[in-house]
Each structure stands twice: as structure tokens, then as C-alpha cells.
Amino acid sequence: MTHLAPAPDALIGKRFDVAVAKMLGISRAKASDLVASGQAHVLGRDVAKSGILQAGDMVEFDLQEERHEPEPIADDMRVVYEDDDVVVVDKPVGVAAHASVGWTGPTVLGSLLDRGVHITSYGAPGRQGIVSRLDVGTSGLMLVCKSELAYKEMRRQFAEHEVVKTYHALVQGNLKEDRATIDAPIGRAKVSDFRFTVTPAGKEAVTHWDVMERFGEATLVSVNLETGRTHQIRVHFSSIGHPLVGDPMYGANPVMAAELGLERQWLHAVQLEFRHPRTHVWTTVTSTYPADLEHALEQLRAQHAE
């Protein structure tokens, strides 16, 4: 299966085998094998595995597909907006954005393809059409590109932070201010491959928040991201002593989560605003809370009213 992907800005200047490993989420040894066998190459010029990826390069992957069990399908994933260029889904919790090593559950991409939705071939194999992701444990709106025009333009809009992403989050404790900004770089935590942390060596990360509702032991906030780092909201609120309710990985109290019937972090992507890639019309898509998050809020309101 052949896929084309523009060289990501973050990988320009890197060795080709390192870039392929990052783009596909595989080991460098496996990436070297793909380059050596011609299954990964740069269009229009010969680049060895030690060659350097340049701005404007298009990487072509021609991967021999391995036979494996078909992935489960997220039948309950709602399509909130769709036209010839983009599709916006309301991703349920427990659904990954795309397939990855070790993940055996449903994915947004696989579930859309299973429904017969046409997705552009632009992007790394298995991640085609995807320009922004949500964590498996985070629900809400996620945009996938159907056309090449949309992929190029929406990738630019997300990279340049022109897309307005609004999340609602329930954080532990009573936030002192009604609104504030957290500006702190985020990088991988040394203690784990899966955790991230605030670190001077990290990448710039900016989170704006406004209080919507106070419960004393928890606070509901509306969050806008200027940047889109992995686990950004979870890491930033944990760093100021207010981890997301239901998020023990970043320091949340499991007792509170259990009392509220939560089995994941209380975080939902409620609104996406973007300029349509073809018509340039400013487009707003919204989502409502799923049942588990709504139930937790009702519990808190009832306790708070007593």
C-alpha cells in the first residue's frame, strides 16, 4: 500500500532513518530496514538511511501489509460534521486516533474507513488524513481530512495554532483565580515512556483556562490550547497542584474518581473552530458531554447543594 507524506517540520534536518522511525512510530532498526528495502524513500532524489531530510521533501511509503486480526470498530462514534474535504467525529473514550504498536482497540481512522468514508492518502501509513489527535482516554471532537487540499491546509492551520480548540476539564481542588494562563514547556518524563512533565528542556506549551463552575473539592474549567503537546492539559493542571479528576497517572485522587463513577480523566473536547480549507468560511463544530462525564457533574452538583 503506497502513501505520501510531506516531511514534518520537526524532522527536517534529521537522518532519514530517524525521521521514518518517528513518522511511523517504529524502532530505528525497523526504519533502517524499510529504507534499505526501498519501502520508504524520498520522491525525486536518492536518500540513504544516513541522509538528511530536507524542507519540501515528500516521503513515499510502499509498505507490504502484514496479515493480522481486523481491529474492532467504534460503531457508536458519531460524525458531527462532514463534507468532501473534512470529517469531524465525536470520539468516544477508549478509541485511539489511529493504529499503533500494542494497541488492539478501535481507532477513529479504522472506524471511518470501515464505514466507507474516503480519507486522503496523504500522511504516514496508518495515520493518513490525521492532522491532530486526542488521547485514548479523552473524548470529543477530532478532525480528519478527506482531501489532499484539506490535509495540506489543515496541517498548516493546526501547526500555526489558527484552529481554536476548546476543552472542558474537571480539576481537583478549588482554583484560586477565575482565569489564568499556564506557560510551561513540556517534555517526556524520565521515569516513564508514557508520561510527560513540565521541564525546561521541553517544547513550548501554553494553556489558557476560565472557571465555569466551582464545587469546592473540584472546579470545572473551559480550556483553550495555544499549542498541542501530548497530555498538555493533564500535565499543566497537575503541575499547578490541580490534576484532572480521574487521572491517577498525573496525581489524581482515585477515591474521588470512584465516588463519581469515573474510570478515566474528566476531559472533553467540546468545540473546534477552523477556517474551512476550501471555502475559507469560519466553521464551528460543538459536542455535548458523554454520559460518564455528565453523571460525575450531577453527583458533584448534588453534593455541593447539600
Residue whose C-alpha cell is 464545587: 215
Is residue 183 part of the annotated active site? The answer reads no
Amino acid found at 273: E
State the pairing for strand pair 206-214/218-225.
Answer: antiparallel
> What cell numbers appear for 154 in the block?
489543515
Helix 16-24 × helix 28-36 angle, to 10°: 110
Rounded Cα distance between 183 and 206, Å, is 5
Q: What are phi and psi of 22, to 5 degrees?
A: -65, -45
Residue whose C-alpha cell is 467504534: 74
> What cell numbers appear for 39 in the block?
519501502
- Half-sphere CA count of 176, side-chain side, radius 13 A: 4
Q: Which residues of 49-81 are buried (b: 16+ CB within 10 A; e: fewer)?
A: beeebeeebebebeeeeeeeeebebbeebeebb
Q: Which is catalytic among the residues 62, 83, 135, 292?
A: 135
Residue whose C-alpha cell is 454520559: 291
Q: Which residues are catalytic, by number?
A: 135
